[in-house]
Amino acid sequence: MIKRQSIKKLLDFIDDSPTPWHAVATIEAALIAAQFIRLDETVKWSLQAGGRYYVIRDDSSIILFVLGQKSLADSGFKIVGAHTDSPGLRIRPNGAQVSNGFAQLGVEIYGGPILATFTDRDLSLAGRVSYSDEQGYIAHKRIRFGQSVLRIPNLAIHMNRSVNDEGLKLHKQTELLPLFAQLTEEQLPNPYFMQLLAQATNLDTDQMLSWDLAVYDTQKGTFWGAANEFYANSQIDNLASCHAGLQALLDEQVLNQSQGTLACAFFDHEEVGSESHIGAAGSFLSDCLQRITLALNLDREDSARALAHSFLISADMAHAYHPNFPAAYDVNHKVFVNRGPVIKSNANRRYSSESISIAQFIRWCQDADVPYQHYSHRNDLACGSTIGPLASAKLGIRSIDIGCPMWAMHSIRESAGVYDHEYLIKVLKQFFLSV
Ligand code: CO
């Protein structure tokens, strides 16, 4: 039985989270509702057994954890990892320019989006703005334009006759600029753009110092298919996995019955390699785990024992079989939407899975009555990667890479199967409840 309500929650979660900064705010709201306490990295931590806590680093990476009653040295951390960012377009610092009266925004490509999918969509802007507050301190706030203010219109087929034979190719520097206004001769693009930002943030233009702004799609998530067996939205990679991890950890049974120390780590910057102070290749997770062991007065040996007992599930989306493109898959590793979470293997360590972590995950699937599938990428195509190999290498803990199958990864409009999300939440709950 599909619990449509839970998929509806996922769609709302994504719609509330147009950027990584908004995704972390959406997650934080759920944590506050569940009585989690925010920890500040600049303040000494004092932690209680059974306590629920979270840490945010730079607004777009978040680690949440629940301390178990069991000895940490004897049971370790059970961690679900995922990423908060998605590929797309980011606005340059000197964003606005004008061409024949049309104001456009200069953009940089963030990660590896399918650029053609950004054309002819109801795009808008969201992110965060830093400014001087009344006392002269630097403050920042999130910003989101609700209505569609941007668009990248296609060139008509009459001027691009080969588009259907050669595909839509956009020059990355000159043909990707979103249009946002039609200006008079007196209006200058940058002041006009600053004025828009000022209105949207209730700030004066001279207060604003800097920003991080992303292009997002205003179209809301939807179900599709004759029996509503599929869903579509932007950023399914990888907000769906963040949502599944969060739902599993906040589950009543998990919170009430789990004896172990449970965590979710959701990182920004995965799509650009994770090399940052908030990314999975940075120190954020290891810093937090170390601070937990220090706050619990574990000595160095017991801290090492805790890590040796730990397990990381790196949850990220997988490539579902597309019936129009059968040649894109290894013939024995087609994975299908709505047939359960995918275990990802790669001999070259693009995924962190190995036979023992796979065996363990299969047991959790069996115990939770959840089907599973195996994925392995073709040799003649470059395989993507995840936070799994980076985070497990950094911490020295066992890990597996898994995730729900989806179509059109890195399109601005991705899609997946509704059953898989339920299955993933179920098996992650099993992991958190396991002894
Ligand atoms: Co991903």
Cβ contacts of 150 within 8 Å, gap of 6 or more: 105, 123, 124, 125, 178, 179, 180, 215
**Is pLDDT above 90 for 112?**
yes
| Cα 281 to middle of ligand 1, angstroms | 15
d(CA 59, CA 22) in angstroms, rounded, equals 8
**What distance in angstroms lies between residue 233's CA and the mean position of ligand 1's atoms?**
14
The token pair that represents 65 in the structure block = 């954890």
Distance 406 CA to ligand 1 centre (A): 11
Question: Residue 408 above 60 pLDDT?
Answer: yes
- For residue 268, how far is its CA from the centre of ligand 1 (angstroms)? 11
Mean pLDDT, rounded, of the chain: 96
Distance 287 CA to ligand 1 centre (A): 23
Distance CA 57, CA 47 (A): 19
CA–centroid distance, residue 276 to ligand 1 (Å): 17
Rounded to the nearest whole angstrom, what is the distance from the C-alpha of residue 88 to the centroid of ligand 1?
A: 13
Q: How far, in Å, is the centroid of ligand 1 from the Cα of 238?
A: 5
CATH class of this structure's domain 88-217: mainly beta
Where do the structural domains in the chain lie, given as residue ranges?
2-86+234-433, 88-217
Distance from Cα 106 to the centre of ligand 1, integer Å = 25
Average pLDDT (109-121) is 98
Which pLDDT does position 6 carry in this prediction? 80
* N-to-C CA span, the chain: 28
282-335 tens-digit pLDDT? 999 999 999 999 999 999 999 999 999 999 999 999 999 999 999 999 999 999
Could you identify the residue written with the tokens 């808008």? 124
pLDDT value of position 4: 72
Instruction: Please give the distance, rounded to the nearest whole angstrom, from the Cα atom of residue 270 to the centre of ligand 1.
Output: 7
271 in Cβ contact with 44 (< 8 Å)? no
Of all residues in the chain, the percent with pLDDT exceeding 90 is: 97
Residue 1 pLDDT more than 80? no
Phi, psi of 251 (to 5 degrees): -60, 135
| Distance from the alpha carbon of residue 19 to the mean position of ligand 1, in angstroms | 14
Cα 219 to averaged position of ligand 1 atoms, centre (Å):
21
Other Cβ atoms within 10 Å of 118 Cβ, number? 24
Expressed in angstroms and rounded, the spacing between residue 274 Cα and the centre of ligand 1 is 11
Question: Which pLDDT score is estimated for 2?
Answer: 53
Residue 106 pLDDT greater than 80, yes or no: yes
- Supply the pLDDT for residue 3: 60
Q: How many angstroms separate the alpha carbon of residue 142 from the centre of ligand 1? A: 23
Query: Residue 318 C-alpha to ligand 1 middle, in angstroms?
Result: 8
Separation of alpha carbons 167 and 373, rounded Å: 32
Helix residue ranges, H only, 299-338: 300-308
SS3 425: helix
Q: Where are the beta strands (DSSP E) in 289-341?
A: 311-315, 318-319
Residue 248 has pLDDT above 60, yes or no: yes
- Å from CA of 413 to ligand 1 middle: 14
Q: Is pLDDT above 90 for 15?
A: yes
Q: Is pLDDT at 277 greater than 90 in this prediction? A: yes
| Helix, strand, coil % over all residues of the chain, rounded to 5 | 35, 25, 40
Query: What is the per-residue pLDDT for 95?
Result: 86
Expressed in angstroms and rounded, the spacing between residue 14 Cα and the centre of ligand 1 is 14
Confidence of residue 5 (pLDDT cuts 50, 70, 90): confident
The answer to whether 375 and 344 have CB atoms below 8 angstroms apart is yes
| Ligand 1 centroid – CA 316 distance (Å) | 5
165-216 residue pLDDT tens: 999 999 999 999 999 999 999 999 999 999 999 999 999 999 999 999 999 9
CA of 324 to the centre of ligand 1 (A): 23
pLDDT > 60? residue 158: yes
235 CA distance to ligand 1 middle (Å): 9
Please give the CATH number for the structural domain made up of 2-86+234-433.
Answer: 3.40.630.10
306 CA to middle of ligand 1, Å? 28
